[in-house]
Amino acid sequence: MKRLLENEKVLATALLAPGVTILVVFIAYPFLMALWFSLTSISVGDPGEFVGLDNFQRALEDTIFQTAFKNTVFYTFWATIFKLALGMWLALLLNRHFRFKRVVRASMLLPFIVPTVLSAWAWRWMFDPTFSVMNWSLFHLGLIEDRLPFLSSGDWAMWCAVVVNTWRGMPFFAITLLAGLQTISTELQEAAALDGANAWHRFWHVTWPLLLPVTLVVVVFSIIQTFSDFQLIYVLTGGGPANSTHLIATYAYQVGVNSGLLGEGAALSLFMFPVLFAVVWVQLRYLKRMDVR
């Protein structure tokens, strides 16, 4: 046994076996089934017939899908930028020594810990057209005359979703970037300071390049999660008002499950794939380059 495991190939197979088995049984096989669904007119209880790329064609012509696609890109783009910027800023702040450092660091993670559906309900209550605490505050501070249409206007609602997603995801960025920051020795920073660089310079020319690998990992992961996000919009707006805040995942769900059109729903979901694949591919190429170096 011992000698067998010395062989790289055998060891590799043994190590990969458990993970790959689970993935094959519970992802690869269902995925192929879902792929098959997307090529048929299957609906609940009715296997339908093969229709080729018909479902994909219909999706491209669907105005609601076009909106959903645009929304998903908008949502992912802005949320990622905010999460990165704010996460980085927060990481820099948390990197210093101050009283209650431990408590603050731990508490910053809370938005990330609480299940999305639950915190989304809390936010929904805070944005509620009739009971919003924010409207109450702004009104009583004299800053607004009429309430802000947080979730009742399509544009506002998308921005609200971005805010909630940023709130949720920023801690993850912050903590991971913080860990990365801690590996950058302070001597480098001091050397740069002695050379006359100010804080911004130090950040941009010393810190940022060294953090790039960690940043890339976190950003890619976040893009994947955000692009395929479902729970947040489902709870916050349900895709409304007037189907204007649908994301690809929520619209696919509405078509596939609520209307029973499984084939069309599967096709809609699969549109996420090319984008995510491209993102992952870029990251893989980068990892490979790091390897060679």
Partner 1 sequence: MKRRKFLKAAGAGVATSGLAGILATHRAPVFAQANTVHILRWNDFVPAADKVLREVFAPEVAKALGIKLNVETVNANDLPARATAAIQSGSGPDIIMLLNNLPHLYSSASVDVSSLAEEVGKAQGGIYDPSQKLNKVGGKWVSMPWSIVPALISYRESWFKEVGAKEFPKTWKEYHEIGKKLKAAKRPIGQTLGNTFGDAPTFTYPLLWSYGGQEVDAKGKVTINSKETIESLAFMQQFWKDAHDEGGLAWDDSNNNRAFLSGDISATLNGASIYVAALNGADKFKTEKGAPLHTDIRHAPLPTGPKGQHAYHTAFNHMVMKYSKNAKGAIEFLRWAHKKENYDKWFVVQKGFATGPTSVWEDHPMWKQDAVMLPFKSAPTMQTRLMGYAGQPDKRAAEAWNKYIVTVMYANVAGGKMKPEESAKWAASELGRIYR
Partner 2 sequence: MLIERKWKKWVFFYVPMAFFIVFTLFPFYWMAVTAFRPDSELYHTWRQPNATPFWTLDPTLEHLHGLLRTTAFPNWLWNTMLIAIVSTVISLICGMFAGYALARLKFRGSEFLGTGIFITYLVPQTLLFIPLADIVRGMQLGNTPWALILTYPTFLIPFCTWLLMGYFKTIPKELEECARIDGATRFGAMVRIIFPVAVPGILSAGIFAFTLSWNEFIYALIFMSSAELKTVPVGVISELVRGDIFFWGQLMMGALLGSIPVAIVYSFFVEYYVTGLTGSVKG
Length of the chain: 293
Residue 67 near residue 243 (C-beta atoms within 8 A) = yes
170 vs 226: CA distance, rounded Å? 12
63 binds partner 1 (CB under 8 A): yes
Q: Cβ of residue 141: shortest distance to partner 1, in angstroms?
A: 20
Q: What is the DSSP string of 229-279?
A: --HHHHHHTTT-STT-S--HHHHHHIIIIIS--HHHHHHHHHTHHHHHHHH
Which 234-263 positions form the footprint of partner 2 (CB under 8 A)?
Answer: 249, 252-253, 256, 262
For 42: left if phi > 0, alpha if psi spans -120 to 50, otherwise beta; the answer is beta
Q: Which of 152, 153, 228, 244 binds partner 2 (CB under 8 A)?
A: 228
Neighbours of 94 (CB within 10 A): 18
- Inter-residue contact 192 to 206 (CB < 8 Å): yes
- Range in contact with partner 1 (rule: CB under 8 A) among 73-81, 183-191, 242-250, 285-293: 242-250
In b/e form, how buried is each residue of 188-202, taking b as 16+ CB within 10 angstroms?
ebeebeeeebeeeeb
Q: Which of residues 43-102 bind partner 2 (CB under 8 A)?
A: 86, 89-90, 93, 96, 98, 102
Instruction: Give the per-residue contact string, 169-198, with partner 2 (x = CB under 8 A; - = no).
Output: -xxx--xx-xx--xx-----xx--x-----
| Residue 8 touching partner 2 (CB under 8 A) | yes
Residue among 140, 145, 196, 258 that touches partner 2 (CB under 8 A): 140
**Per rule CB under 8 A, is residue 233 in the interface with partner 1?**
no
d(CA 232, CA 122): 11
- Which of 41, 152, 231, 244 is the binder for partner 2 (CB under 8 A)? 231
Judged by CB under 8 A, the chain residues 35 through 54 that form the site for partner 1 are: 43-46
258 near partner 1 (CB under 8 A) = yes
Residue of 262, 267, 268, 270 that binds partner 1 (CB under 8 A) = 262
Q: Which stretch binds partner 1 (CB under 8 A): 78-86, 198-206, 237-245, 268-276?
A: 237-245
Options 127-135, 180-188, 221-229, 281-289: segment touching partner 1 (CB under 8 A): 127-135
**Residues numbered 95-134 forming contacts with partner 2, rule: CB under 8 A:** 96, 98, 102-119, 121-123, 125-126, 130-133
Sign of the torsion angle spanned by Cα atoms 14, 16, 21, 22: positive
CB 223 within 8 A of CB 283: no
| Contact between 24 and 30 (Cβ < 8 Å) | no
Q: Reduced to 3 states, what is the DSSP secondary structure of residue 43?
A: strand
Query: Which residue ranges make up the site for partner 1 (CB under 8 A)?
Result: 14, 17-18, 21-22, 43-46, 58, 61-64, 128-131, 147, 149-154, 157, 237-244, 254-262
